[in-house]
Structure 1
Amino acid sequence: MQKLLQAVRWLCMGLAIIVFAGQLAMVLMRYLLGVGFVELQDAVSYSFAALVALSVAVTFDRDRHVRVDVFRQTWSESVNQRIDRAGDLLFALPVFGLMLWAAYPLVKSSWLILEGSQETGGLPGLFVVKTCLVILPALILLIVLKRLVGAVRRSVS
């Protein structure tokens, strides 16, 4: 599991570089040279979409996701851990389970038609980007299950 998440982290870093360099190149080409490429625009859009989706799992795994820490700062570590486990059970499992269930048909149909860009002359391969809609909830569910199993093992020991 850790190797998979490490690979996703590296992929996110590569996607961030593609987004930055591609956007910079698009701006420079458009305003300095007066030319633009739909393919480059699609590459930046695809990379950004994949980056946003996959970085959710990376930040969730590293416990760096957004949360309201107004009360959390004053509570003990054990209380915070219980609240995190309750949040995993009550929110993360159902929400990301529903997301996986709802996204699967969309991604499946996208793969069946090998969906490409909506722009004329754009990049093919939008179906690969849409696959992130299934990868994201699957990764989150795996992370949550890993945490819950670890918490049960610690409480039994």
Structure 2
Amino acid sequence: MTEQAPLSQPQARLLRLARWLDRINLTIGQTLAWLALAMVLVTFLVVVLRYAFDLGWISLQESVTYMHATLFMLGIAYTLGRNAHVRVDIFYSQRFSPRQRAWVDLLGTLLLLIPVCLFILFVSGDYVVESWKLHEGSREAGGLPGVWLLKTLILLMPLLLLIQAVVLVLRNGLFLAGCESALTSPTPPETTGGGAHG
């Protein structure tokens, strides 16, 4: 294993920035993971109340939709940062070198991810603002009043993805500039159980 040349000050700063930004989505993603458990428990409660006691509340049912939307809309950037999205992989993993993969990731981020995020922000802004102005609530009687908060996820999702896009650009750019450690994870690998990170 060859030794890597020491990083220049600008490279070290950029790498620290990438790791700090990545930690934002990491923290959000790990926190949101608890919503999956909450969704299961609330769904179980809805079913038990409905079929065992003939009880039901629209707000309780809608809360599952809110949790589901929050988990996926805010967790998408975390998933991207962990490289866990579904990838149609013909050449990337098996035939491309690390440098070729870095180029694919860098160009994909600059030419696809960032423009799509900016487009979503551009076309969704007025829609979300109108919902905020009205403090839009559920159309169902007894539903949750925070539809305007739910629609805010449409803007938060691309913002978090843009943060992750900056991380990808910095990491892949630094890697292509010779900084081999740029693509290593800033955090210890996650464990499947409740063990501590080393």
TM-score (norm 1): 0.91
**2:102–2:175: 8 Å Cα contact kept in structure 1?**
no
1:143 to 164, 168, 176: 164
Cα shift at 1:155: 4.1
Are residues 79 and 154 of structure 1, via their aligned partners in 2, closer, same or farther at CA, if it must alter by over 3 Å?
A: closer
2:146 to 114, 125, 129: 125
Cα shift at 1:156: 4.4
Looking at structure 2, the residues matched to 104 and 11 of structure 1 have their Cα atoms a distance apart, in angstroms, of 26
Which has the higher relative contact order, 1 or 2, with Cα contacts under 8 A spaced 6 or more apart? Answer: 2
Looking at structure 1, the residues matched to 177 and 91 of structure 2 have their Cα atoms a distance apart, in angstroms, of 28
Deviations 1:44-65 (A, max 9, x none): 1111111121121110111111
Q: Does 1:100 pair with 2:121? A: yes
Cα shift at 1:145: 1.8
Deviations 1:91-129 (A, max 9, x none): 101111101111221111111111111211111111112
1:17 to 37, 51, 56: 37
In structure 1, the residue matched to 2:98 is 77
Deviations 1:64-111 (A, max 9, x none): 111112222222121111111111111101111101111221111111
1:42 to 38, 62, 79: 62
Bigger drift between 139-148 and 41-50 goes to 139-148
| Structure richer in helix, relative to its length | 1
Larger radius of gyration, structure 1 or 2? 2
Question: Could you tell me which amino acid in structure 1 is paired with residue 38 of structure 2?
Answer: I
1:31 to 47, 51, 54: 51
What SS does structure 1 have at the residue aligned with 2:110? helix
Question: Could you tell me which amino acid in structure 2 is paired with residue 39 of structure 1?
Answer: S
Question: Could you tell me which amino acid in structure 2 is paired with residue 101 of structure 1?
Answer: F
**4+ aligned runs moved over 2 Å, structure 1:** 1-4, 149-157
Question: Could you tell me which amino acid in structure 1 is paired with residue 133 of structure 2?
Answer: L
**2:124–2:155: 8 Å Cα contact kept in structure 1?**
yes
**2:22–2:81: 8 Å Cα contact kept in structure 1?**
no
Identity of aligned residues (%): 31
Looking at structure 1, the residues matched to 88 and 23 of structure 2 have their Cα atoms a distance apart, in angstroms, of 30
Question: Could you tell me which amino acid in structure 2 is paired with residue 17 of structure 1?
Answer: L
Number of residue equivalences: 157
